[in-house]
Structure 1
């Protein structure tokens, strides 16, 4: 799978399955059992640095674009008016696992706004955090919207709408907040929005090319505080993610582990359906990955491999090995195989 310099075919077929390349492989007993296909793009301020598959494939970034969705939180002045700190900004970019830490901090954020869990529009689901899930079972409690992995983002949404005096149905595609996010998405991606879908948390999600997503992440990587409202907002969000990786995802999660391994050299964010992005501030580089089948294991292996390739993490770091070449085990904990990054992708 050779890297290429070509940009997206803007006038042609931009389906997500067009031109997909081998990304990760599952080996069992010395035999190749499965292959995940996908796309990956590395961009800097000038454009594509390297690409695998089709950089023009149009995708939904899903939760990988939460940094873009958080831009109005800072750009409207809402964050400063409410005295929000780095923890709040990290939560606004988070897909957390609903641990007690996340629930407590988002609940306190809402209380400080004079609001409650009922004001959220993200819906409730069981927390991914095992300890919190078992606590709920023991207590006979049902999960609430604070357990939703997007509750931090929605706290940010509510902060903006309260500050601006906008209506409470902030996830409506026609709401001023979502119109501002749509505009910001097109601006940082450097292209027209290709479509809109509704995400799992009920917020609109705007379709862009994988190149556009990588270009947006490169813009975040190049941003510096004091260089205008947009750049300052970008830099603050990236800095908050790097400072608080435990809030962006949680223990045993890829985003948190890879950011810890990067030691300040990268901010990493996942999205549903096999999407991953990385922001490398020291290099001014943005990375975007899409596993064609939506497989998390493939996307995690790919983003880990690209972080190694770019010198942001060490391949031997246990936090990286866990994602780069994870061992597969059966229910008796016997080793049965491993995930390998496809040849040419390393």
Structure 2
């Protein structure tokens, strides 16, 4: 059963509760802490992005196109649609000999509200370049160009690029490919259900930047390279005003933080060699921020300086339309040591 993770108060009483599940795993796959059901099957959603980006390195596509840390971090991010991110997507597409018309991720307004407001004021319409999955789709297109695979149906689950990604997900999460449930993400790309603790395992491997075992050995260097890229460019993992970027900037070189839709969140804790996977049962993002920062605190990763920077995420005030504080969103759990 899922456990209580977050309380939402109004006045002196609890008004609402968010339940969920947490798995904390070391680099060998051992569960060290948990809460709720660490074996529940969870859709990776955007938590998959760093894993999906690995084939760009392992196939030689990154070397072929001269991709550096910026481009590799871009491929892992759930982007804000900010101008610097859009410009980098355009730069990569141009290097591939492609354009925005090749992106099949769909269109939505930038997640970064100031950018969206500025575009609306200027009468500019968003394009696929502003989609938060534009970096991931650009990586898929890079693999297609590198291998000479067709571009027109690269989102088809049977397409070679998606089969390559499925194989990579299976290896990194240690989940047999024939047991992984494949669904379709908001951007039209295939996405994958695996057990929560296996998501934590994948991020533990990013935390350790490599792991033992002959089946996984070829990915070691790719994981190290991608982890370094993410740590070097936290603004490309999410963007300004987003918890992923703010955690990584508050704890530089120590944490890779990656959100997923429907209440999913993952952390790679480099100083601990641990991976964390979180799932909020009702899928509501409201419970995520407080949970993620509290996990960092309980695992003794959160420094005093970082705690101050992340206070608004950890204990978030609820204000009414008169701007009065009427309640709070606060963590209400304690991780259980299992190892």
**Which TM bucket (shorter chain)?**
over 0.9
Matched, 1:256 2:245: yes
2:205 alignment counterpart:
219
2:166 alignment counterpart:
182
Q: Is residue 274–residue 292 contact of structure 1 (8 Å, CA) maintained in 2?
A: yes
> Which deviates more, 247-256 or 133-142?
133-142
Q: TM-score, normalised by structure 2?
A: 0.93
* Pairing 1:10-21 to 2, within 5 Å after superposition: 19-21=1-3
Pairwise CA distance, 1:228:
4.9
CA RMSD across the alignment: 1.6
1:341 maps to which of 306, 331, 334:
331
Q: Is residue 276–residue 300 contact of structure 1 (8 Å, CA) maintained in 2?
A: no
2:20 maps to which of 27, 38, 54:
38
Q: Is residue 34–residue 335 contact of structure 2 (8 Å, CA) maintained in 1?
A: no
Task: Provide the rounded CA distance (Å) in 1 between the counterparts of 2:45 and 2:314.
Answer: 22
SS, match of residue 303 in structure 1: helix
CA 1:224–1:345: 2 relative to 1, 3 Å: closer
Matched, 1:171 2:161: no
Count of paired positions: 327
Q: Is residue 57–residue 209 contact of structure 1 (8 Å, CA) maintained in 2?
A: yes
Pairwise CA distance, 1:199:
0.2
Matched, 1:106 2:84: no
Pairwise CA distance, 1:333:
1.7
Task: Provide the rounded CA distance (Å) in 1 between the counterparts of 2:312 and 2:253.
Answer: 19
SS, match of residue 70 in structure 1: helix
Q: Is residue 24–residue 274 contact of structure 2 (8 Å, CA) maintained in 1?
A: yes
Pairwise CA distance, 1:315:
5.6
Pairwise CA distance, 1:332:
2.2
Which structure has more RCO (C-alpha within 8 Å, separation ≥ 6)? Answer: 2
Q: TM-score, normalised by structure 1?
A: 0.91
Deviations 1:42-97 (A, max 9, x none): 00023111110001110101001101110111110001111101111111000011
Q: Flag structure 1 segments of 5+ consecutive residues without an equivalent.
A: 1-18
2:266 maps to which of 277, 289, 298:
277
2:58 alignment counterpart:
75
1:289 alignment counterpart:
278
Q: Is residue 209–residue 227 contact of structure 2 (8 Å, CA) maintained in 1?
A: no
Q: Is residue 210–residue 219 contact of structure 2 (8 Å, CA) maintained in 1?
A: no
Pairwise CA distance, 1:266:
0.6
2:220 alignment counterpart:
231
1:203 alignment counterpart:
189
Q: Flag structure 2 segments of 5+ consecutive residues without an equivalent.
A: none
Task: Provide the rounded CA distance (Å) in 2 between the counterparts of 1:102 and 1:240.
Answer: 15
Task: Provide the rounded CA distance (Å) in 2 between the counterparts of 1:295 and 1:157.
Answer: 29
> Which deviates more, 334-343 or 206-215?
334-343
1:6 alignment counterpart:
none
Pairwise CA distance, 1:188:
1.1
Pairwise CA distance, 1:151:
0.3
Pairwise CA distance, 1:238:
1.4
Deviations 1:230-282 (A, max 9, x none): 01111111111111111111111010011111121110000000000001123
Matched, 1:314 2:300: no
1:13 alignment counterpart:
none
Deviations 1:2-43 (A, max 9, x none): xxxxxxxxxxxxxxxxx1000111111110111100000000
Task: Provide the rounded CA distance (Å) in 2 between the counterparts of 1:342 and 1:110.
Answer: 45
Q: Is residue 199–residue 205 contact of structure 1 (8 Å, CA) maintained in 2?
A: yes
